[in-house]
Structure 1
Amino acid sequence: MDIIVEGNVEVVRRVLSRISDLGLKIMLPRIREISERGIDIVSNVYDRRKEPLKLVVDGSYWVYISPPEEVIISYLEAWKLQRSEEDKMKAVLVYCAQRNSLDQGYLRDESSRRNVNDYLRKLEEYC
């Protein structure tokens, strides 16, 4: 799971280091309920064009959830640039599960801007 930490990233790293083991580049939680996913701090600012869904937790913390279009495009970039089969499958799963509710215009425009429109066309063949 990729996360973005706005603010003091060291506090989050300390918490994660107490509940996780360090993998190759991600934290691997030891808590059963969240142990299926590794955690990777990928940035300290949300810089995508499409606004995230914002949720308030406990009245004082914000949780940002990336829109599926941005998630798909990020997976397409990894599939194309790193030849990542894992990211290809993730892109297929998210796209096929949510294709009826995706902003297709945004997806086409942004994939073209980020030079992965050829991989978006490949993705569309899967479902």
Structure 2
Amino acid sequence: MKLIIYDKSNSETPNRRVGVRSISVTRKPGTFSFSQTAQRDLEIKDGYGVLLAQDDESKNDWYICFADSDSSFTIRKRRNGGYAKDFAPTLYFSNKFIANRLLDTIKAAKAATLLISTKPTIINSKEWYKIVISKPLRIK
């Protein structure tokens, strides 16, 4: 008899990637949720401001910037309940218009999970991180 032993190292579902700096976008509620790795690496906190941008020339390049301004979206904390008490809360913001535009760019019907680049691009003295839409981690 030969056993296949399943543990944390070999039982991740393809839709859920641990240790990946990503952002999940959903069309219907228009929410943008950050992975735990993105929260840690980019030092994202509850109450921070966030801006999104689309490159007007390419139309396929999207960027995200963490900056407080009067026009930025506020990142909020979703409280996890029940069995998820010991996990860090999900940080998110909502804007249905931008979520629909981004998902239309990648031709996703309902939702997608996308990588966030590791190195920022400096534009107008702000750090903008590219949202990698060419290889979505998950698309629905």
Q: Could you tell me the TM-score, scaled by structure 1's length?
A: 0.29
**TM-score where L is the length of structure 2:** 0.27
In terms of fraction of residues, the more strand-rich structure is 2
